[in-house]
């Protein structure tokens, strides 16, 4: 019996490894090895066109230059500003989710309408917003002139407004996903809690602050973590709309990394940017995991 049990256990383990093997190989080849290679290359001065013979160790020179690099520092600052989109679209998505969940008919229709920008091609969305934000003939500025604004902003053509414009588009795109997740969270809250609050005479705001928000805190935590990570990875909107301009006003870390690696071919320097980006995301995520113990209710 023991021998048969051991063989059965071995077969089960082999079957398990066969099922997870392709995933483990994919993660190792496409994620873990590139991460290790990036950290190694960040300490080198290498132009990959020169081949491996041109690989030279540079120590911490790349990181020293990085923090004296005005373009990198501006990109890092733009990324920090871009983080403000996360609480904005989370708040809007929560408000819409509460309204749709309680006071709107045809809920499925509104779910689809708000989710469409999220699943649409970012390139197509960016082109549509380029037309809308056109400084002279765009519908947005034509509307503003019609209501009395004689000199409306030039939006993505203005260094003072370009990043704000991209942030507004990002908020518009991201609301749908957050809305769907919040709606799922709202439907998982037990109705008994609201019925008990009604018996105690609690108003709508009291029920929202004492029941809805605490019960949605795990959902909010998930959306906050994924949203901040996504804000650090923003690239497609920048590449389609502004290419980091005008005057580097929309340059973010991923865009500067792309320019450094694939336009200027400075792989070592680009790898140091990627290492800093990785450490920033890791640090912020770690702080969120520590802080969630004080406000997330499981």
Question: How high is the mean pLDDT of the chain?
Answer: 89
% of the chain beyond a pLDDT of 90: 47
Q: In angstroms, rounded to a whole number, what is the distance separating the alpha carbons of residues 72 and 62?
A: 12
Nearest to 181 by CA among 209, 224, 219: 219
pLDDT of 72 higher than 90: yes
Token reading at 257? 């990394």
* CA atoms 47, 48, 53, 55: torsion sign: positive
Burial class from Cβ neighbours inside 10 Å (0-12, 13-18, 19+) for residue 36 reads exposed
For residue 250, which phi and psi values (nearest 5 degrees)? -120, 15
Q: In angstroms, rounded to a whole number, what is the distance separating the alpha carbons of residues 282 and 246?
A: 30
Superfamily of domain 83-251, CATH level 4: MetI-like (1.10.3720.10)
Nearest to 57 by CA among 40, 73, 32: 40
Greatest Cα pair distance, the chain, in angstroms, is: 89
All structural domains of the chain with their residue ranges: 2-62, 83-251
Digit-coded pLDDT (tens) for 44-68 = 988 877 777 778 888 889 999 998 9
pLDDT of 213 higher than 70: yes
**β pairing state of 56-57 and 44-45:** antiparallel
% of the chain beyond a pLDDT of 70: 99
Q: Decide if 186 contacts 212 (C-beta within 8 A).
A: yes
- Cα 138 from chain centroid (whole Å): 28
Digit-coded pLDDT (tens) for 179-208 = 999 999 998 888 888 888 888 888 888 988
Helices (H), 54-153: 61-66, 70-82, 85-103, 107-119, 122-132, 139-146
- What confidence score (pLDDT) does residue 64 get? 92
């Amino acid at each position: 019996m023991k021998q048969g049990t051991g063989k059965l256990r071995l077969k089960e383990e082999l079957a398990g490894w066969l099922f997870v093997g392709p995933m483990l190989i994919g993660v190792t080849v496409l994620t873990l090895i590139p991460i290790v290679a990036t950290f190694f290359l960040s300490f080198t001065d290498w132009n990959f066109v020169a081949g491996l013979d041109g690989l030279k160790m540079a120590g911490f020179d790349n990181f020293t230059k990085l923090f004296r690099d005005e373009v990198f520092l501006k990109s890092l600052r733009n990324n920090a500003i871009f983080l403000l989109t996360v609480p904005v679209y989370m708040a809007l998505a929560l408000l819409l989710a509460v309204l749709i969940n309680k006071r709107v008919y045809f809920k499925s229709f509104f779910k689809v309408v708000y989710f469409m920008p999220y699943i649409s091609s970012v390139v197509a969305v960016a082109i549509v917003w380029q037309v809308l934000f056109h400084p002279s003939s765009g519908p947005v500025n034509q509307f503003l002139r019609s209501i009395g604004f004689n000199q409306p902003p030039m939006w993505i053509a203005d260094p003072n407004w370009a990043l704000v414009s991209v942030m507004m588009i990002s908020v518009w795109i991201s609301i749908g996903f957050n809305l769907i997740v919040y709606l799922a969270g709202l439907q998982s809250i037990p109705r008994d809690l609201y019925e008990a609050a009604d018996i105690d005479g609690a108003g709508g705001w009291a029920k929202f602050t004492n029941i809805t928000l605490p019960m949605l805190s795990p959902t909010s935590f998930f959306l906050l973590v994924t949203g901040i990570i996504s804000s650090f990875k923003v690239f497609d909107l920048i590449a389609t709309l502004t290419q980091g301009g005008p005057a580097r006003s929309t340059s973010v870390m991923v865009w500067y990394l792309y320019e450094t690696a694939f336009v200027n071919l400075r792989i070592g320097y680009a790898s140091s940017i990627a290492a800093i980006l990785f450490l920033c995301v890791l640090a912020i995520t770690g702080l969120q995991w520590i802080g969630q113990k004080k406000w997330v209710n499981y």
